[in-house]
Amino acid sequence: MKRIGIIVCDRWRRCAGGKCLRALRERAGAFSRYANEEVELVGYTTCDGCPGGNVEYAPAEMKRNGAEVVHLATGLVVGYPPCPYIDDFVRFIGVKYGMEVVVGTHPIPQSYFETHEALATWASPGWRETIGATLTDEVTRRAYD
């Protein structure tokens, strides 16, 4: 059993988590890594807004609840502009809590993909690597619009 936590961007604080939970159930997007595993969600919270103060503390609670992996929700990369602290969050959680950090949850919706492609937001090789687990194919992206 893989136990995970999810941290979402605070600008999506009213999100009910539908796309993340659907992707977890379907093992889509960044959750495809668990295709052959049982997964339990043990924590779900926001970053608490820039610069992400909750990222300092929420992983501790997730870890106490058994989390081995923290997923930084897809909203951190599809919002505009994408989270400027995402690399810091990945590094901090990994070092402070010794937990694996995955950028992404559900597949990037096609509408966001088209906007960011037009803006060349993710044109650099670094960004392509960061969003790789959530990029998927167009059919899947459209299904998550």
Could you tell me which residues are beta bridge partners of residue 50? Answer: none
Write out the residue range of the structural domain in which residue 129 sits.
Answer: 2-143
47-59 confidence digits (pLDDT tens)? 999 999 999 999 9
pTM of the model: 0.95
Checking DSSP bridges between strand 39-46 and strand 69-72, what pairing results, if any? unpaired
* pLDDT tens column, 92-108: 999 999 999 999 999 99
Residues 6+ apart with CB under 8 A from 5: 41, 42, 43, 44, 45, 58, 59, 62, 65, 67, 69, 70, 71
Q: pLDDT band at residue 25, thresholds of 50, 70 and 90? A: very high
Would you state the pLDDT for residue 124? Answer: 87
Residue 84 has what pLDDT? 95
In tens, the pLDDT along 121-131 reads 999 889 999 99
The total number of structural domains in the chain stands at: 1
CATH number for the domain including 128?
3.40.50
% of the chain at pLDDT higher than 70? 100
